[in-house]
Structure 1
Amino acid sequence: MRVRSFRIESIRDNPPERYNGESVGELMTSSKSEQAISDLLHNLQIDVTSAHRTQCTSNWRDIDYSPDYNKFYFILDGEGWIRVDDQQIRPRPGQLCFMPAYTNQGYSAISDKPFLKYWCHFTTRAGAFDLFQWIGVPYCIDIQDKERMSRLFEQLVEPQGNSALVTLIRQKAVMLEILATFLEHVPVRILQHRSEEINRLNIIHDYVDKHLHLSVSVDELAALLHLHPNYFIAYFKKRFGISPHKYVNRKRMEKAKTLLMTTALSIKEVAALTGFADTNHFTKFFRKETGFSPTEFRGIYAS
């Protein structure tokens, strides 16, 4: 097999125009983009398939493969290179490297001092796709608090719990913390080929947000996107991981919680502003979703 030649560059010094192997759209600084991704994260499913601390050998090498999972490498020592599509990088000790699923990848040791690293394989399902099929991020960052990151990976590799259930939950929690630490230190962009779907979700969000006090029908939402209602239901659930009906109800609940926590409006007024003509129906719906009546919820959480 012929080995391709790649230019080695620093992501920090020369930011790419392509993330996750794709052209990128807008930087995710607008409230609409953030809202769309937040909607998707409501249904985020994260799974860790492997996590280890490994001293690589001098024959650590694979130059052409495309995994169906994401990877993090936290480099502790040594040297080598990794490649994501046409970007080759030489990570340094103290850097956290990300390699997204469904990209062409490679890696290799380059001396008699190969990497000592923590690593993990994981998936982050958000709707119909992995989270990183929606967003693009740089592949390598410096970690300021290296001791904390090492502790997180230690907990990921050997999660503690008095049962398999507790151990699994703690492992997912640690994975989420590592992921959050990474994302809060990198620019995040919507991948260009997903921007149309994000725009569609924004259209639905804006309409629902402005009409929560009314009865919002599937026919109305489908018409916004010029789709047949039956097709719209299937499309929405497949792409965004939730039915339109459940999406509207979730938005009603979010607004009801906000009003109960931040205003002195009566329960009847809150019900009316979130699309419930009958206060009893609102109370039953609220209790089913939260485990509390609106009055109990306000008493616990109101500022």
Structure 2
Amino acid sequence: MRSRTILIVDDEPRSREGMKKILRVWAAGQYEILTASSGGAAMEILEETPVELMITDIRMPEISGLALVSQLRKKSIQRQPSVILVSGHAQFEYAQEALRLSVVDYLLKPIGREKLIASVEDALKVVEEQEDIVYMRKMADPKLMAIREEEAGLSDPIRKAMHYVEMHIEEVISQQEVAAHVHLNVSYFSSLFKEQCQMNFSEYVTRRKLQKAKELLLKTNLTIIEVAYRTGYQRVKYFNKLFKEYEGMSPGQYRSMRNGVEAHIP
């Protein structure tokens, strides 16, 4: 598993090492804390190492912290880190530029331990949220996405049926009960759904349940048995079979991939 990294950039050794010491104790081995004494040295690290968060002083010789972030935003590096700017001077222009560069926080020296840790934790939450959004977009079912994009053109009964599935995702859902809910006979509902959604209703329910299962696998620590139950599958063996059929891997392998572990998929 790749270690997660925080980079501290400051030309003042005392400030740089002080922040490193605080964050090393706070991280307790969960993050690697790297340091750089200049913007140039920082850029070399950033080009070679994925960094979740960069804390950089603004006023440094040669390349200022603001110039470093500006250069960073223009580069096609593997990962754009969240940024916390640090300054010994409160200047409105710095704050304005920080906003323009999408900097997470702007701290004034001297920085107390609690303030530094609180700012770092907030910045890392932003990183996690962004990673989840990117990952969920990559993992989204393309057929469900296609239906969602055309949702405005669907008939009212079909939209109501999809809403019913959403509200009863933890239950066993039958075509008969949904057809009754939208006041259509089963045969007509079945043909209408397939015509408008380009898949039959049972496939839609399966795909929607598995999409929910993927979200639970990524965002919670629920066991696979609990994930199966939360998506309306009482037989875990059947849930595993369906998941592998649609995703090409088991639920456990899927979760491992999100955690950065290379899953073996036979």
TM-score by length of 1: 0.36
Q: Going by fraction, where is helix more abundant, 1 or 2?
A: 2
Larger radius of gyration: 2
Tell me: higher relative CO, structure 1 or 2? Use CA pairs within 8 A at least 6 residues apart. Answer: 1
Q: Going by fraction, where is strand more abundant, 1 or 2?
A: 1
